[in-house]
Every structure is written in C-alpha cells, then in structure tokens.
Amino acid sequence: MTERSDRQNEIASVAARLFRQKGYAAVSMRDIAASMHIKAASLYNHITSKQDVLALVLMDLAASFTQGITTIDAADIAVSEKLSRIIKLHIDLTIQNPHAMASLNNDWMHLAPEALERFTEQRDFYEETLRRIIRSGIEERIIHPLNEDLIVFSLLSTLRTLYLWYGRKSNLSEQKLRVDLTAALLNGIVKNS
C-alpha cells in the first residue's frame, strides 16, 4: 500500500459523496468521472477498479476508528471517561468525513474479498473493544447491569449514523452536540431515573 496521490484523494472524495447519495452499486464510473469533468476511462490512470475506489473511501477511515479506540482503551482513565472520548471520536471523524461514514455503514459489503476481510476484522475488533469496556463498567458497578450487547449496539447505532443528521437540523455547535449527546447516551433522557 503506497502513498495516495492527490488525484486519488479527489476521486475518493467525489466518490464518497455519490456513494452516500445513491449507494455504491447505483453509482457508475461514468458518474464519478462526470463529477470530475473527465471521462470514465481516465479514472483508470489513477485507480485499478471500482472496488479499489471503494477501498480508498473506506479503509483510511476504518483505520482511524481502530487507532482511536485503541488509544482510548489503553489510557489509564475511568470507564465513563473512555465512553466520553469514544463519543468524541465518532463526532470528530463524522465531521471530518461525513460522506465516507455512509459507505462505512452501507457499502462495505461490496469491498473486494481481501479488503472485505481486513474491514470486518477491524469492525469486529472495534465492537469487541467497546464491549470489554462496557463489561468492565458493569463489573465496577458504574454501568447499569443491562445486557451488554444491547448497550454496545445502542451506543453504536447512534454514533454510526451521526452523519445522517449532523448539520441538517438546528445547527448546534460541535461542543453542544458533544455535551448533549454524551448526556443523552450515558445519563438517559428521562429525569429521576
């Protein structure tokens, strides 16, 4: 895996936007090319296949999540602080890559077999790490003793689909988003629990 050229990054950026709108399968190489004002064949001077474009869109972002949660998990901090930082990680990466987040959720199954395996490995690792954090929180009596898988997926469902509505509705600042989202996810929305 060599360094990515500027043009490759442009392709990945344009493709991510289109993938988000219509999904990987509904976007043609001619669509991507037209958005760059070139012809489809010209794309192949920079990439080797359509699946390669998808990998360009996904794999860096997936690696950022892997690296992010690894760092957080290794830190010597309380479980609740780890969770707060994980929420912030998702917010930061979503703001930086809103379009690619859609493909991360919906298009990853169209990766070529080798890339697909690397992707699912990272995804499994991420979920497993988060589950370990949740479990230790339950053992420390810091987290309510609910089903731990349920907690993991309840958190991830919201965090992974942040891209769907950040920026669309009442444009709250990144800071208020983080504070309110952390409160909603960790402390709940109903009073006097």
Partner DNA sequence: CTTTGAAACTAACAAGTGTTAGTCAATTAA
Partner DNA sequence: TTAATTGACTAACACTTGTTAGTTTCAAAG
Minimum distance of its own copies from residue 1's CB (angstroms): 26
Q: Which does 125 bind (CB under 5 to 8 A by kind): its own copies, DNA, none?
A: none
Tell me 48's DSSP state.
Answer: S
Cβ proximity to DNA: between 110 and 135 the closer is 110
String of contacts with its own copies for each residue 131-170, x by CB under 8 A: ---x--x---xxxx-xx-xxx-xxx-xx-xxx-xx---xx
Provide the terminal-to-terminal Cα distance of the chain, rounded to the nearest Å. 51
Tell me 24's DSSP state.
Answer: G
Q: Give residues with Cβ within 8 angstroms of 82, minimum separation 6.
A: 72, 73, 75, 133
Residue 7 binding DNA, by CB under 7 A: yes
Residue 50 binding DNA, by CB under 7 A: yes
Q: Which does 23 bind (CB under 5 to 8 A by kind): its own copies, DNA, none?
A: its own copies
Q: CA-to-CA distance for 187 and 58, rounded, in angstroms?
A: 32
Q: CA-to-CA distance for 20 and 22, rounded, in angstroms?
A: 6
Q: CA-to-CA distance for 17 and 23, rounded, in angstroms?
A: 10
Residue 114 binding DNA, by CB under 7 A: no
Residue 175 binding its own copies, by CB under 8 A: no
- Sign of the Cα torsion 179, 182, 185, 191 reads negative
The residue from 40, 95, 116, 172 that contacts its own copies (CB under 8 A) is 172
| Residues 163, 175, 71, 114, Cα dihedral to 10° | 10
Residues 69 and 129 sit within 8 Å (Cβ to Cβ): yes
Q: Which does 71 bind (CB under 5 to 8 A by kind): DNA, its own copies, none?
A: none
**Contact range with its own copies by CB under 8 A, out of 10-18, 32-40, 85-93, 176-184:** 176-184
Q: In the complex, which residues of this chain contact DNA (CB under 7 A)? A: 5, 7, 27-31, 33, 37-42, 44-46, 48-51
